[in-house]
Amino acid sequence: MSYTTERPRGRLPQGKLIVPGWPDIEGLGIPVHSAGTANRGYYQPFVMPYTTSLVSIEFWNSSGTNNHDLGLYDAVGNRLGSKGSTASTANTIHIWTPSTPIAVQAGKLYFAAFATAGTATILAYSGNGMYNPRTGRAVQASALALPNPATFAAAGADAFIPVLKLTFTE
């Protein structure tokens, strides 16, 4: 995968990034409503091709009420910001909007983070055989609220990848 550090001209395509993204999800099919492991942190890697600022992260909670947390980490696990453990309700989009947009540098690795207190169903990729070691996904046990710093562990055969939508400044 190649990236350019030159900012595209004009508007970005809605200034959004869905993680995991292509080609990380190749062959996974369509996301379903699935439940992760209670108190586990899920870290989705991404690299932006230009310098920008994160203005929000969101996810869809399909069923159940639990506490969740959303956040952003740098490549070595330093938390750059998080929502904190917050109650969520079913059939709702939950959004974390940092009080100040968080700078994201071109070409650097970051992790969008999600953690849940229980097994509420959210929009996610799920199923056996979907782990791809090239994606760089990471997990952490006992990660609610999202800790600082994170202690990344390889996702292994974990069959749950939360779908997160990140929004950036133009």
Among candidate residues 53, 46, 87, 47, the one with its CA nearest the CA of residue 68: 87
Distance separating alpha carbons of residues 21 and 163, to the nearest angstrom = 9
Confidence (pLDDT) at 16: 64
**N-to-C CA span, the chain:** 23
Picking from 151, 95, 159, the residue whose alpha carbon sits closest to that of residue 126 is 159
Is residue 161 one of the residues assigned to a domain? yes
Number of domains in the chain: 1
Residue 37's SS3 state is coil
Range in 12-16, 39-43, 60-64, 86-90 the model is least confident about = 12-16
| 59 located within any domain | yes
Q: What is the pLDDT of residue 7?
A: 44
Integer angstrom CA distances of residue 50 from 9, 77, 97, 110, 164: 11, 21, 21, 13, 20
As a whole number, mean pLDDT of residues 70-88 equals 94
Domain-located, residue 151: yes
Q: What is the pTM of this model?
A: 0.82
Task: For residue 4, name the pLDDT band (cuts at 50, 70, 90).
Answer: very low
Q: Which residue, 134, 122, 113, 133, is CA-closest to 160?
A: 122
Q: Which residue has the higher pLDDT, 111 or 12?
A: 111
Read off the CATH number of the domain in which 53 is found. Answer: 2.60.120
Domain containing 24: what range? 16-168
Asked whether residue 3 is domain-assigned, the answer is no
